[in-house]
């Protein structure tokens, strides 16, 4: 009886360890409707940089600011963009939210500064956050929604 109880507790302990470790895994993102391989590749490249630290003026690969992340990711795909966020906000052409696809730019104005990220899917975008480094957020979140300026396509 004691042997069975011991085995039961070991299995239970392994189960809890598995649950805890699974909850620490990076966020998985599903890309819906990305038939364009370059867009898919741009987003995949940006997502591999999650967790990299923020540093003002940094253009990677070890740290990024928002425009440095965009500059670095697109440069890997032979798309040349100027490094400052404000200039990136003038690159390509303006699109509306319904036309925004994975790989498009999303722009925000925070105080007097511009902030830029790369659309992923379903309203989510990847960007270099000054508090969390390269991270994923939703344009519908209160903070971002209030500061949304628009979307640009450079692909």
Residues annotated as part of the active site? 66, 115, 127
DSSP output for 27-72: PP-PPPS---HHHHHHHHHHHTTTTPPB-TT-BSSS-B-HHHHHHH
Distances (CA, A) of 124 to 79, 87, 106: 22, 22, 10
Q: Alpha-carbon distance 105 to 119, whole Å?
A: 6
Q: Alpha-carbon distance 116 to 128, whole Å?
A: 8
Q: Alpha-carbon distance 37 to 12, whole Å?
A: 44
The closest alpha carbon to 147, from 107, 87, 100, belongs to 107
């Amino acid at each position: 009886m004691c042997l069975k109880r011991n085995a039961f507790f070991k299995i239970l302990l392994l189960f809890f360890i598995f649950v805890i470790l699974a909850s620490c895994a990076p966020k998985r993102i599903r890309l819906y409707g990305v038939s364009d391989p370059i867009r898919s590749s741009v987003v995949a490249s940006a997502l591999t940089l999650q967790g990299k630290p923020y540093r003002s003026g940094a253009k990677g690969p070890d740290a990024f600011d928002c425009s440095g992340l965009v500059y670095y990711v697109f440069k890997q795909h032979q798309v040349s963009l100027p490094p400052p966020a404000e200039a990136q906000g003038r690159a390509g052409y303006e699109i509306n939210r319904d036309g925004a696809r994975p790989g498009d730019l999303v722009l925000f104005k925070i105080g007097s500064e511009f902030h830029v990220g790369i659309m992923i899917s379903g309203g989510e975008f990847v960007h270099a956050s000054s508090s969390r480094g390269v991270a994923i957020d939703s344009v519908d979140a209160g903070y971002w929604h209030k500061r949304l300026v628009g979307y640009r396509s450079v692909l």
